[in-house]
Structure 1
């Protein structure tokens, strides 16, 4: 099992980041590179939770999203072709009086089969840098979205 932790300070509020994180519409991959429209399926959605399948490049997972706490989003893997056990993502937000927000993300990857176990080792070692870069790109994309950059592309 691999556990990866990143922290970033962003110029968006927790509400803005959660709004982006829970926008399951077309073009999601512009914000989250590992979630392509091809795999995206919203099974159910409520005011503080959703059941969504997403993925890319042959890897998919079904996630239970819980954003009932305004400063925390938990995405628990409920099914996947490679991930099992305690896999998922947790985003925790700490807003500051200057308008910035610290966002902490913890990603847990527990392989449920041989492919998953091998990917878990890769993610926990050399894949860390790739995931870090993807996280930084997500933060930048959310900030750009909140500044109104690229809104015509999302229409």
Structure 2
């Protein structure tokens, strides 16, 4: 069960980053590199939560149905309820705090493999996951730093 943690400091304001985390419009696939449009399905969205299936073509198609919760200010919790790769209870946790004119972001990812595909992806995460997930988050932050078109 890989657990990956990393931290980033950025000029992106906390509200802007959390808004990107909780934007489930079709633009989500453009913002987040690990989300393909064909794997994105929004089941239901409430004022501080969402039930969403998302994923990518990685390893033949990895998807998960997640419950997003942003009811605690500065925190977005994402818990897997169903997946073709991960057991329920697998999760992401984002803690976003003001830092100067930007943000300090702490990310914790817990993955519980459900099958052979999950074990293979988990092994890849153990080897290169921190760098890959940090890099994907930095890519999102670069997009968010650009002025709106």
**Structures share fold, TM-score greater than 0.5:** yes
- CA distance, structure 2, for counterparts of residue 126 and residue 14 of structure 1: 27
1:102 aligns with 2:104: yes
- CA distance, structure 1, for counterparts of residue 144 and residue 79 of structure 2: 22
- CA distance, structure 1, for counterparts of residue 97 and residue 127 of structure 2: 28
- CA distance, structure 1, for counterparts of residue 72 and residue 129 of structure 2: 30
> Retained in 2: the 8 A contact 1:27–1:36?
no
Q: Deviations over 1:39-90 (max 9, x none)?
A: 1111110110000000011000000000011210000011100011431110
Correspondence for 1:36? 36
Structure 1 runs of 4+ aligned residues shifted over 6 Å read none
CA RMSD of aligned residues (A): 1.3
TM-score, normalised relative to structure 1: 0.88
> Retained in 1: the 8 A contact 2:43–2:51?
yes
Q: Give the one of 108, 111, 114 matched to 1:112.
A: 114
Correspondence for 2:94? 91
Offset at residue 27 of structure 1 (A): 3.0
TM-score, normalised relative to structure 2: 0.92
> Retained in 2: the 8 A contact 1:6–1:104?
yes
Correspondence for 2:123? 121
1:73 aligns with 2:69: no
- CA distance, structure 2, for counterparts of residue 46 and residue 28 of structure 1: 17
